[in-house]
Chains A and B, each alone.
Chain A
Amino acid sequence: MDRRKFIKAGLFTSSALALGNYTNIYPYLASSLSSDYDLVAIKGGEPEVMFDKAIASLGGMKNFVKKNQKVVIKPNIGWDVKPELAANTNPKLVTRIIKHCFDAGAKDVYVFDHTCDNWNRCYSNSGIEKAVKDAGGKIVSGESESYYQQVDVKKGKRLTSSKVHELILESDVFINVPILKHHGGGKITVGMKNLMGVVWDRGYWHRNDLHQCIADFATFKKPDLNIVDAYLVMKRNGPRGVSAEDVITLKSQIISTDIVAADAAAAKLFGIELTDVPYINYADELKVGKKDLNKLNINRIIL
């Protein structure tokens, strides 16, 4: 048995362990399994099914959320459009993530976004407000400057300070749940671009080299977990979209603790060259994470 075969076999057994529904037989097993994967990519299932499997292969939510912790989830709720237009994160996925957080013992789970369209309408028409409430989470407004605190971005090149939503600063666990889609200025929007929704003044980023600012901010706060929703993917006219004609059903999901890796994998999934998305390269240079997927231990799951 050569080394490659050994690794393949290892991958196979571990994914078999992760994929098989052993949690019912040995409930402690999933949580006790600590994972060595840098990134999990999964496709072919419904958002909540894919999340169950993918998070299990990372050792379950218990690896990220401890008892009585305060969790903040940041989906993309930027636009006042219906879920089928894929401009906002899939509400079913949000519900499932919150459920996992509570199962892991989270005390409170907060969800917010600093929206582009009117926030009340975004929250309700995206279906996310209902999804959060149904799951027992708390939906919070991002539409008031009083929620945002001034912070220094020490490693930033262009962005050296920013006003950040207090929930991001105060929570124990930060889970980033972007949706993958086309984006006019950013080329694509995934994990790092989604963090634009936790700051107050986005105009500054646009004025001062958008791509550099996106990478700069990622040096300030790396989410504990990035869950990329690529179930429905807007291929053009992003990030708002014009109609459902812009959307394809990709049925995929990417999970990683490395935001740069997650974005790089999402870019490949989207079908865009990494060189065409400057912020991923800038973030790699700033050592926020690794864009080179060949150097990562990836669990690829096809349902």
Chain B
Amino acid sequence: MNATVLKKIRVAVSLLFFLFTISLFLDYRNILPPSVYSKVLFLQFIPSFIKFISIAGLGAIGFIVILLLTLFSGRVYCSSICPLGTLQDIVSFVSRKMKKRKKKRREFLRYEKEKNWWRYSFFALAVIPFLGGTILFINLLDPYSSFGKISAHLFRPLLIMVNNSIAFLFEKMNLYIVYPFEYKGIEVFSFSLALAIFLLVVYLSFTKGRLYCNTVCPVGTLLGLVSRYSFVKIAVDEKSCKSCGICERVCKSNCIDTKKKTVDFDRCVACFNCFDVCPTDGMKFDYGFSSSSKKNQQNREETRVSEREEQVSHSKRNFLFNTLVYAVGLTGITLSQIKITPKKESKVAVFRKNPVTPPGSQSRNNFTQNCTSCHLCVSVCPTQVLQPAYLEYGLLGMFQPRMDFQTGFCNFECKRCGDVCPTSAISPISLEEKKLKQLGKAKFVKDNCIVNTENTDCGACSEHCPTKAVNMVPYKNKLVIPEVKDEFCIGCGACEFACPTKPYKAIYVEGNPKHLTAKINKEKKIEQKVDYKEEFPF
């Protein structure tokens, strides 16, 4: 096959994956059917891996497919499936277009030595704490989840802003075709993190191509190690190569050394740019362990040995650093007692001991161990009740979503978060099951309640309660006051959201560390005979 076609295919496939993935995050109107989500995200490496180790099943073998693909032909995941990779390619593309002067363009990309110290440190940072039970660093480093956070906290608000501006213009013309979206999810920490990752990725790809993928990204490092054993490898054909260096200048991974006529296939993201530009057919595929492949390998080994001395001196520091990280992972610094509201007006300060996790997450443990905080659920939640946590799950659960009953409450008829979650943090459950899934229990704080303090009717909590676990019962002076029946409560937070007291709520949901099942609030059919011929009672 003509190898230049490969580049075109790669570009097309990567753009397809990119557009599909980003549209999942931008779908704030919930237009896409939930079934699309699992199909698009099936191949995302880390989510699939996490899903596999907690619930092995056919739906979770995406990462195995990727490993096999890598074993066959190198880091195809990096070149065309990873959305963060494609984002970098887009930036590089723009960067190349902007560098008008030939000289600058020539200097944009060229062979660089691998940065193994960085690479394996980041890799260890992701892997070792994870073995110790801490997923935080994977969450910070997984390229898909990073792309998710960037989409959820930068691209999505941007789109909503555009939408709302258009809606505003239409409204002025008395047209109500486009609706403004009431965006409630400005979460400073997640926004800052997303912005930081975005700036880092943009900077690196603008100046150095895919440097991020070969230094920071643990998936890149892992697939790089796997690709050493790939059946098909890209290599330089020593006979045809004239060492002109054109390929070096299009190599996003800076991994072709034209002087030595080698390709560092660990770092190669299989973009086929080199094939596309080579004027002399100097690039070729090596199959299996053919001699030239070994030659290439040998050349590489020599370079490695010379670089190793440098590495050794770092190994002790590396070890200490990793031990520290591991220790942090084990202790699990927690800080879950968070004040619900900061000001003082209603008297009794209310603290929530346990944060509330979304329906389908089964338990706090299951959720925090399996969530890579890609914020896809945060993006699709129609009521915006799902918001990234700050310290509610402790330091190590930062950025993982929680039910925030200040911004919204869980819609009784909705289970979208479970349908879209690419890991097993939130499992898909049936609507019937969801309606009985008890995420927590409502706690009534009588001393804060309007009915008690003001002696006026309110009932906002009971009004919103979908199961009538919060019921209004007689109080003094013909008033009615809420009463909670735990067994019917599902912890959806409608009561807490609706409660009008400030700053502390008179009713709030205390999370169940392990989700329970509520009872069905079954009442007999209301009995009233209606005679349609009877006179009106007035």
* Residue in B171, B411, B538 with the greatest tally of chain A CB atoms within 10 Å: B538
CB neighbors of B among A48-99 (8 A): 80-81
A141 at the interface (CB under 8 A from B): yes
Interface residues of A in 232-274 (CB under 8 A from B): 235-240, 242-243, 245-251, 264-265, 268-269, 271
User: Chain B contacts of A23 at CB under 8 A?
Assistant: none
From A44, A212, A242, A247, give the contact of B521 (CB < 8 A).
A242
Q: Give the residues in chain B near A139, CB-CB below 8 Å.
A: 176
The 8 Å CB contact of B532, one of A44, A209, A239, A240, is: A44
Looking at the assembled complex, report how far the CB atom of A147 sits from the nearest CB atom of chain B, in whole angstroms.
Answer: 8
Assess whether B179 is interfacial by the CB under 8 Å rule: yes
Q: Is B536 a contact of A300 with CB atoms below 8 Å?
A: yes
C-alpha gap A170/B538 in the complex (Å): 36
Query: Do the beta carbons of A185 and B459 come within 8 Å of each other?
Result: yes
Q: Is B182 a contact partner of A145 (Cβ separation < 8 A)? A: yes
Question: Could you tell me the distance between the alpha carbons of A278 and B182 in the complex, rounded to whole angstroms?
Answer: 34
Would you call B463 and A184 a contact (CB within 8 A)?
yes
Which of the listed residues A116, A184, A236, A303 has the most CB atoms from chain B within 10 Å of its own CB? A184
Instruction: State the CA gap A116–B494 with chains docked (Å).
Output: 9
Option from A118, A183, A186 in Cβ contact (under 8 Å) with B414: A118
Contacts of B4 in A (CB 8 A): none
B302 within 8 A of A: no
Chain B facing A: main interface SS:
loop
A118 touches B538 (CB 8 A): no
Nearest chain B CB to A199 CB, angstrom units:
13
Q: Given A116-B464, A184-B480, A242-B523, is A80 in contact with B459 using a C-beta cutoff of 8 Å?
A: no
* Cross-interface CB contact of A269 among B468, B500, B533, B537, cutoff 8 Å: B537
Contact A110–B176 (Cβ < 8 Å):
yes
B382 touches A211 (CB 8 A): no
Contacts A250-B530, A293-B538 given; indicate if A141 touches B500 (C-beta within 8 A): no
Contact B457 A210 (CB under 8 A): yes
In the bound complex, CA of A259 to CA of B536 (Å): 18
Residue of A205, A239, A268 near B538 (CB, 8 A) is A268
Report whether B182 and A144 are in contact in the complex, using a CB–CB cutoff of 8 Å.
Answer: yes
C-alpha gap A81/B411 in the complex (Å): 11
Please name all residues of chain B whose beta carbon is closer than 8 Å to the beta carbon of A298 when the two chains form the complex.
Answer: 538
Using a CB-CB cutoff of 8 Å, which residues 454-487 of chain B contact chain A? 454, 456-460, 462-468, 471-472, 478, 480
Q: Is the Cβ of A242 less than 8 Å from the Cβ of B468?
A: yes
Closest-CB distance, A278 to chain B (whole angstroms): 7
Is B533 touching A44 in the complex (CB atoms < 8 A)?
yes
Q: Is A5 an interface residue (CB 8 A)?
A: no
Contacts of B526 in A (CB 8 A): 235-236, 245-248
Q: Report the bound CA distance from A187 to B459 in whole Å.
A: 10
Task: Assess whether A144 is in contact with B463, with CB atoms less than 8 Å apart.
Answer: no
Q: Which residue of A lies closest to B411 (CB)?
A: A118
Note all chain A residues with C-beta closer than 8 A to B533.
Answer: 44, 302
Cβ–Cβ contact B176 & A140, under 8 A: yes
Q: A154 contacts the other chain (Cβ, under 8 Å)?
A: no
Is there an interface contact between A235 and B537, defined as CB atoms closer than 8 Å?
A: no
Minimal Cβ-Cβ distance residue in B for A116? B464
Closest to A264 in B: B538
Contact with A along B505-538 (1 / 0, CB 8 A): 0000000000000000111111010101101111
Bound form: Cα–Cα A162–B151 in Å: 36
Q: Which residue of B168, B460, B528 contacts A203 across the interface (Cβ within 8 Å)?
A: B460
CB distance from A294 to the nearest CB of B (A): 8
Task: Name the interface size band of chain A.
Answer: 35 or more
B316 within 8 A of A: no
- Determine which of A186, A268, A271 lies in contact with B459 in the assembled complex, contact meaning CB atoms within 8 Å: A186
> Is A207 engaged at the interface, CB distance under 8 Å to the other chain?
yes
A203: B residues at CB distance < 8 A: 460, 498, 500
A116 touches B382 (CB 8 A): no
How far does the Cβ of A173 sit from chain B's closest Cβ, in whole Å? 16
Q: Distance (Å) between the CB of B163 and the closest chain A CB? A: 11
Q: Is the CB of B536 within 8 A of A185?
A: no
State which residues 24-41 of A face B: CB under 8 Å.
41
Q: Is the CB of A240 within 8 A of B463?
A: yes
Q: Is the CB of A207 within 8 A of B532?
A: no
- What's the nearest-Cβ distance from chain A to residue B30, in Å? 7
The one of A143, A184, A269 in contact with B472, judged by C-beta atoms closer than 8 angstroms, is A184
Q: A183's contact among B168, B463, B466, B530, by CB below 8 Å, is which?
A: B463
Flag if A237 contacts B468 (CB, 8 Å): yes
A249 to B529, alpha carbons, bound, how many Å?
A: 9
Q: Chain B nearest CB: distance from A34 CB in Å?
A: 24
Is A204 in the interface zone, CB < 8 Å from B?
Answer: yes
Give CA–CA (A293, B537) in the complex, Å: 11
Is the C-beta of A276 less than 8 angstroms from some C-beta in chain B?
yes
Q: Given A120-B29, A242-B467, A269-B536 in contact, is the A146-B500 Cβ separation under 8 Å?
A: no
Q: A147 to B170, alpha carbons, bound, how many Å?
A: 12
A207 pairs with B501, CB closer than 8 A? yes
Closest Cβ–Cβ distance, residue B179 to chain A (whole Å): 4
| Bound form: Cα–Cα A269–B536 in Å | 7
Cβ-based interface call for A121 (8 A): yes
Contact A184 B530 (CB under 8 A): no
**What are the interface flags for B427-468 relative to A under an 8 Å C-beta threshold, 1 for contact and 0 otherwise?**
000000000000000000000001000101111101111111
Assess whether B501 is in contact with A121, with CB atoms less than 8 Å apart: no
Out of B176, B413, B467, B502, name the residue touching A207 (CB < 8 Å). Answer: B502
Would A207 and B500 count as touching, CB distance under 8 A? yes
Residue A125 CB within 8 A of the other chain? yes
Chain B nearest Cβ from A190, distance in angstroms: 14
Shortest Cβ gap from A268 to chain B (Å): 4
* B413–A209 touching, CB < 8 Å: no
Q: Is the CB of A184 within 8 A of B462?
A: yes
Contact A245 B523 (CB under 8 A): yes
In this complex, what residue of B is CB-closest to A70? B174
A91-112 Cβ-contact flags toward B at 8 Å (1 or 0): 0000000000000000000100
Q: In whole angstroms, what is the CA distance A243 to B525 when docked?
A: 9
Smallest CB-CB A-B distances: 3 pairs: A185-B459, A184-B459, A203-B500
Extra contacts, 6 of them, besides A146-B171, A206-B450 (Cβ < 8 A), are: A121-B414, A141-B176, A144-B167, A202-B460, A209-B454, A239-B463
A-B contact pairs, 21 of them (CB 8 A): A44-B532, A110-B176, A116-B463, A118-B411, A140-B176, A141-B179, A141-B180, A147-B171, A147-B180, A184-B462, A187-B457, A203-B500, A204-B500, A205-B500, A209-B454, A242-B521, A243-B523, A248-B530, A251-B532, A268-B538, A269-B536
Question: Which A positions have Cβ atoms within 8 angstroms of B?
Answer: 41, 43-44, 80-81, 110, 116-118, 120-121, 125, 138-141, 143-147, 183-187, 202-212, 235-240, 242-243, 245-251, 264-265, 268-269, 271, 276, 278, 293, 298, 300, 302-303
Interface residues of B (CB under 8 A from A): 29-30, 164, 167-168, 171, 176, 179-182, 382-383, 411-414, 450, 454, 456-460, 462-468, 471-472, 478, 480, 498, 500-502, 521-526, 528, 530, 532-533, 535-538
